[in-house]
Amino acid sequence: MLRASAVAERAGVPTASLVCEGFIGQAATTSTGLGLPGLATALVPGHVDVQSPDELRRNVAAVTVDAVIRNLTEAPAAVGGAVVEPGPNDIVFEGTFDEVNRYYYENDWSDGLPIVPPTPDRVAEFLRFCDRPPQTELGVLLPDKRRATVGNVAVNGVMAGCRPEYMPILVALVEAMADPRYGVEHSGNTPGAETLIILNGPLIKELGFNYEQGALRDGIQANTSIGRFWRLYLRNVAGFLHHRTDKGTFGNTWRVVLAENEDVLRRIGWPTIADDEGVSGGNAVTISRYTGGGVIASVFGNTPVQMLPYLADAIVGKVGWELLFTVGMGVGSQRPLLILSPILAETLAKGGVDKVALKRRLFELARIPAAKLEKYVGEWTNFVPGRPKLTDLVKAGHIPAVFAESDDPQRPVPLVCRAEDLMVAVSGDPLRTNAYAFAHNGILGYPTTKAVRLPADWARLLREARAR
């Protein structure tokens, strides 16, 4: 909400932002990041969702209304001055390994695990793997509004335990993070969804990414350290910190990089995730935020007809309140991800199902009663106020006609607006008949794909790095 207020204030329109009690601290830091540290907020006591209409009315009348009037009628206090931060080449600390780690941890620069001290030598080694100078700006990241640069990518890469040759991937990841389509500013929202990075291209093998057994488990340096880099960068550059800018109610640990099994994809003629997202023909990263996921074990059958109902049901089982992003906020931005083990993908392909057909079949099969979807977004939650009927939303032109093929409350409706909104990746143990499904966070972390740019003398640099 503060972001909307900031836009209005910049346009010269006074604002009052109603902020629930639990968010006041975050509002102060967020408004600073927005460049309007004095942004006027009006406190709403407690949490509105657990108050009766009478309690809410009393609270608003006693506290909020007065603040709104003051917000709109009084000039905000002038807040000026510059925030002083260490320069990109400053030595911020000298000491032993243990001391460096304590210093970084106590100053909120670490996630609690030991970091590799980002010494000038180590950072320089990373910078060799990028043809652009360290001061190159890759974007400006909310909430702290700090500049993302090639240099601070290298620093966080060192800290995360990456190898220097991962640098081109790290830079591409931060370019994706800074892309407005992704929406990094939402990374501290209360459902606490976590990003999954999907890697495509020859780098998977060149850099030793795991794409087989245990594809989503820590333990392989490339997959693991780059996943850790992602969260360190959110912490140290974007500025998401526990109990302050981060309001994720639970959150979860960072996810390791998912690399696709491109040998299998080539063999069955299926496009990669990057191909599907329009970045073909090389190395690419795709980032997307998922609220949660889980495994679907032991998919039984040797034909698509036998296998598809279970796979479709797996997606149904994962997506609940997230349907908000299908029909409410950011209509059509729900992009569930289904990861198939290679043997499942190969069996489907053998049965004549290509990736487009697979998505179409899943779109048809993964359906729930219209009344249940309406409950998720308008009754059990209050995401879409006024409990609108899907039929009315279709009539108003907000969502596709598929949601109102009749007015029977029990009619099956899809989870996404279009078949191609479903994403399908192939990875994991090649010979196990298991799959994995993720529910997606919609416009608050929309899939964003970036090509990975390699330095001009990549082959030589990589050879040298491997020799060290």
Partner 1 sequence: MDALWVLVPAGQRASGEWIDDTLRARAAEKGLLGRSPRAGEFPRQRVELVRGADPVAAVNRLYQERGWTDGLPIVPPTLGRVDETVAAGGRERHVALGEVAPLAGLATVEKVAANAVMAGCEPAHFPVVLAAVEAILDPAFNLRGVQTTDENVAPLLVVNGPVAKRLGVNAGWGALGPGWPANAAIGRAVHLVMHNLGGGWPGAVSFAGLGQPGRYTLCLAERDDSPWPPLHVELGYRPAQSTVTVLRAETVINVTGGLDEVASVMGSAASLFGILHSGKPGVILSPLTARRLHADGWTRATAREALFARGRLDAETWRRSWIRTAVRATDWPDWAVEAAEQGAIPAVREPDDITLVVAGADLPIPQHAYCPSWGYPPCRVTREIVERGQGS
CA gap 13, 6 in Å, rounded: 9
316 Rama sector, left if φ>0, alpha if ψ -120 to 50, beta otherwise: alpha
Q: Between 69 and 431, name the residue whose CB sits nearer to partner 1.
A: 69
- Among 86, 120, 278, 352, indicate the residue that binds partner 1 (CB under 8 A): 86
CA gap 426, 321 in Å, rounded: 26
- What is the nearest approach in angstroms of partner 1 to the Cβ of residue 154? 21
Q: Does 71 bind partner 1 (CB under 8 A)?
A: no
Question: In degrees to the nearest 10, what's the CA dihedral of 186, 189, 194, 195?
Answer: 0
- Among 12, 243, 278, 406, indicate the residue that binds partner 1 (CB under 8 A): 243
The structure tokens listed for 240 are 């998401």
Contact between 261 and 433 under an 8 Å Cβ cutoff? The reply is: no
Strands 412-414 and 367-369, sheet pairing: antiparallel
Q: Between 13 and 92, name the residue whose CB sits nearer to partner 1.
A: 92
CA 107 to chain centre: 25
CA gap 127, 88 in Å, rounded: 13
- Among 11, 50, 75, 84, indicate the residue that binds partner 1 (CB under 8 A): 84
* Residue among 284, 254, 289 at smallest CA distance from 169: 284
CA gap 243, 408 in Å, rounded: 45
The interface region with partner 1, picked from 59-67, 80-88, 192-200, 371-379 by CB under 8 A, is 80-88
- Among 12, 53, 81, 219, indicate the residue that binds partner 1 (CB under 8 A): 81
Q: Does 92 bind partner 1 (CB under 8 A)?
A: yes
**What track of x and - describes contact with partner 1 for positions 1 through 40 (by CB under 8 A)?**
------------------------x--xx-xx----x---
Q: Does 79 bind partner 1 (CB under 8 A)?
A: yes
CA gap 65, 48 in Å, rounded: 15
The structure tokens listed for 173 are 């990841």
The interface region with partner 1, picked from 99-107, 339-347, 404-412, 438-446 by CB under 8 A, is 99-107
Q: Does 66 bind partner 1 (CB under 8 A)?
A: no
Q: Where are the alpha helices (DSSP H) in 107-139?
A: 120-127
Q: Does 97 bind partner 1 (CB under 8 A)?
A: no
The interface region with partner 1, picked from 82-90, 112-120, 131-139, 292-300 by CB under 8 A, is 82-90
Q: Does 244 bind partner 1 (CB under 8 A)?
A: yes
**What track of x and - describes contact with partner 1 for positions 136 through 155 (by CB under 8 A)?**
--------x-----------
The structure tokens listed for 281 are 């023909």
- What is the nearest approach in angstroms of partner 1 to the Cβ of residue 108? 7
Q: Enumerate the β-bridge partners of residue 272.
A: none
The interface region with partner 1, picked from 1-9, 92-100, 189-197, 399-407 by CB under 8 A, is 92-100
- What is the nearest approach in angstroms of partner 1 to the Cβ of residue 193? 23
Contact between 451 and 282 under an 8 Å Cβ cutoff? The reply is: yes
Q: Between 86 and 281, name the residue whose CB sits nearer to partner 1.
A: 86
- What is the nearest approach in angstroms of partner 1 to the Cβ of residue 101? 12
The sign one gets for the Cα dihedral 37, 179, 170, 438 is positive
- Among 55, 99, 407, 408, indicate the residue that binds partner 1 (CB under 8 A): 99
Q: Does 102 bind partner 1 (CB under 8 A)?
A: yes
Number of CB atoms found within 10 A of residue 273's CB: 26
Identify the residue whose tokens are 């209360």.
190
Contact between 287 and 196 under an 8 Å Cβ cutoff? The reply is: yes
Tell me the site size for partner 1, rule CB under 8 A.
Answer: 25
Interacting residue ranges for partner 1, rule: CB under 8 A:
25, 28-29, 31-32, 37, 79, 81-86, 92-93, 95, 99, 102-103, 106-108, 144, 243-244
